Amino acid sequence: MIDAIYNALDALGAGARAAFSPTGLPNLVMIGISLTMFWLAIKKEVEPLLLLPIGFGCLLANLPLSDVMNIPGTNLPNHEGFLRVMYDMGIGNELFPLLIFVGIGSMTDFTPLLARPKMILFGAAGQLGIFLTLLVALLILPYIPGINPAQIKETAISIAVIGACDGPTVIYVSNLFAGLGKIDHSMVGALAVAAYSYMALVPIIQPPIMRLMTTAKERATPIPPAKNKVSKTALIFFPILVVVLTGIIAPKGLPLMGSIMLGNFLKMSGVVPRLTQCSENEIANISTLFLGLAIGGTMAGQEFLKSQTLMVFALGLMAIVVDTVGGLLLGKIWYKLSGGKMNPLIGAAGISAYPMAARIVQVEGLKANHQNHLLMNAMGANTGGQIGSVMAASIMLAILKGMGLI
């Protein structure tokens, strides 16, 4: 009897012993990180929709002796933790990011882009960060301890895609590699957190670069509103056009582009308000919750706290900065070629952070000229950035397919 009581008490204390053992230290650090995520989400309102579930998943996965992310065949045979079930249900097969894209598509209005189609070129320039960061990552990663030399290309690509400034795209691409065993599953969590953190930090990252790269005269340049109106028929055919073009040029990106354009097609058709509302609300919300929890579940201390996680954050920041520089450079070239009829600030909106980047352009434009309302043109560039980021990822996947890497 005494033995039974002792064993029972001993079992109750196992968690505390594990937490304060040397091997439990990384988990304690991760619990601290999850608490920081809660603070950022609740107190600072930084991407609360994502950071709260990711933080909670991270907390659950790092509590001592937690088996919520248990992989069959490890410490509890024939048992899968509930976060593992969620992971397999929608991240392992890339479903959740695509469902979120359906929601994003149904929330996006491409009218400003269709009114000024050339604005989409900013959406291309705003992807410079992806490709330049890829090159830099390929040069740096071989010198980072702990990175498998056979996985350098795939690791570099996964990090560079943070430059898409688009969480679902980052998760989709990195998980594709994780599924093929070409990067560690634990990296998907670091990549997702970096991507969403930098998306939230766009209002802090972009303005200094915008002011540094443009003169006061350039920033004050007004842009007349678009003269042409956009018909409903054009808005209905637009998603079909984009999907067909993607299918022809980069079919590997069709799941990404197809899902965002499906959401937009439902919205623009105007005949399925229930499906549109469902995409905007239920589908996007449930997918976001499950995706966040499952991503948080991959952030176990022993796997997450590695030198490569630091590289993910450092290179991810570089990608976003270079994206902004790329867009602004095109803006400055456009300003010169048009004889001062384009405000270079619009270039900074050519990233996928929608509608945040467009609003920043509007604010910076107004600071330089109180009569200068750049919002509609910036929205055109910003929606162009959404398409540009998905197109860049699609083209990247198409090239990798051509090279036999996927």
56: nearest Cα among 73, 37, 72: 37
399 binds another protein (CB under 8 A): yes
Nearer to another protein, 17 or 401 (CB): 401
| CA–CA dist 338, 342 (Å, integer) | 7
The string of DSSP codes covering 152-195 is HHHHHHHHHGGGG--HHHHHHHHHHHHHTTSS-HHHHHHHHHHH
Residue with tokens 């900065």: 321
Q: CB neighbours of 104 closer than 8 A, spacing ≥ 6?
A: 168, 260, 263, 284, 354, 386
267 binds another protein (CB under 8 A): no
Q: CA 273 → CA 111, 257, 258, 263, 288, distances in Å?
A: 19, 21, 19, 11, 21
Q: Which of 117, 270, 273, 340 binds another protein (CB under 8 A)?
A: 117
234 binds another protein (CB under 8 A): yes
Q: Which of 60, 124, 159, 283 binds another protein (CB under 8 A)?
A: 124
Q: Which of 58, 59, 120, 176 binds another protein (CB under 8 A)?
A: 120
What binding mask, one character per residue, do residues 136-155 give for another protein by CB under 8 A, x or -? --xx--x---------xx--
391 binds another protein (CB under 8 A): yes
Whether the CB-CB separation of 37 and 51 falls below 8 Å is answered with: yes
337 binds another protein (CB under 8 A): no
Q: Which of 3, 4, 143, 229 binds another protein (CB under 8 A)?
A: 229
Q: CA 6 → CA 18, 20, 64, 73, 121, distances in Å?
A: 18, 21, 20, 30, 71
Closest distance of CB 311 from another protein, Å: 15
Nearer to another protein, 29 or 240 (CB): 240
Whether the CB-CB separation of 357 and 348 falls below 8 Å is answered with: yes
Closest distance of CB 363 from another protein, Å: 23
Closest distance of CB 376 from another protein, Å: 9
270 binds another protein (CB under 8 A): no
Q: Which of 132, 171, 178, 191 binds another protein (CB under 8 A)?
A: 132
108 binds another protein (CB under 8 A): no
**Interface with another protein by CB under 8 A: which range of 10-18, 308-316, 340-348, 384-392?**
384-392
75 binds another protein (CB under 8 A): no
- Where in 36-55 is the site for another protein (CB under 8 A)? none
**Interface with another protein by CB under 8 A: which range of 96-104, 169-177, 244-252, 336-344?**
244-252
114 binds another protein (CB under 8 A): yes
Residue 380 CA neighbour count, 13 Å, CB half? 21
SS3 121: helix
Q: What number of chain residues touch another protein (CB under 8 A)?
A: 49
The string of DSSP codes covering 63-100 is STT--TTPPTTSSSTT---HHHHHIIIIITTSHHHHHH
The contact set with another protein (CB under 8 A) reads 111, 113-115, 117-118, 120-121, 123-125, 127-128, 130-132, 134-135, 138-139, 142, 152-153, 156-157, 228-235, 237-238, 241-242, 245, 249-250, 384, 387-388, 391-392, 395-396, 399, 403
